[in-house]
Amino acid sequence: MSPEMRYADKDSLEWPKVALIAPRKIKLLEEFVVEWVAEGFPRQRLVVPKGFVCDGASIPAMLEWYLGRDNILPAAVPHDWQYAFGGQIPKDSHLVQNSDGTWKEADFVWSRKESDRFFARNLKFCSIKNHQRRNAYRAVRIGGWFAWRSEKTPVIEP
């Protein structure tokens, strides 16, 4: 069982600043950082760069009422970032805090399951209900394999 995760100094995630650039395509207008701590581990952060283009959540249109694409952006953007690289995100994107407060690159490759669990945990901090989080996790576990295995061409626009 994985350790309980909480967000550093916060009870919720901040919303990323995005622009809709096409139907179902958003672009980050600012760097988006998720910082967390888990029991037995140092503080960590995942940094998604400004300009990253993603769909924000691959929810079929007929099911958007269930979670709401906009409601889950703080969880979906980091998840899309991890999926864009098949878990092998750039080293400067996943950081671990040293005991002296400085940050170093994490030597870590995310598995699909770890990425999906991170997404589900992040949904908690978007005020998504337990049963909705479980169903969203199941959905990405069932349907995410295609996106995970597809050719990786992450888009980062200026």
Residue 88 belongs to domain spanning: 5-150
Q: Between the CA of residue 149 and those of 64, 140, 155, what are the distances in Å?
A: 24, 13, 17
Over residues 33-66, the pLDDT tens digits come to 999 888 888 999 999 999 999 988 776 665 665 6
pTM, 2 dp: 0.85
Of residues 151 and 1, which shows the higher confidence score? 151
Number of domains in the chain: 1
Q: Can you give the pLDDT at residue 147?
A: 82
Share of the chain above pLDDT 70, in %: 84
> Residue 27 in contact with residue 51, Cβ under 8 Å?
yes
Q: Can you give the pLDDT at residue 24?
A: 82
Any idea of the CA torsion for 75, 79, 80, 84, to the nearest 10 degrees? 160
Domain assignment present for residue 117? The answer is yes
Q: Can you give the pLDDT at residue 1?
A: 35
Domain assignment present for residue 16? The answer is yes
> Residue 24 in contact with residue 50, Cβ under 8 Å?
no
Over residues 62-111, the pLDDT tens digits come to 566 566 666 788 999 999 999 999 999 999 999 999 999 999 999 899 99
Domain assignment present for residue 79? The answer is yes
Domain assignment present for residue 96? The answer is yes
Q: Looking at 24-28, 56-60, 120-124, which range is the least confident one?
A: 56-60
Residue 65 CA, chain-centre distance (Å), reads 21
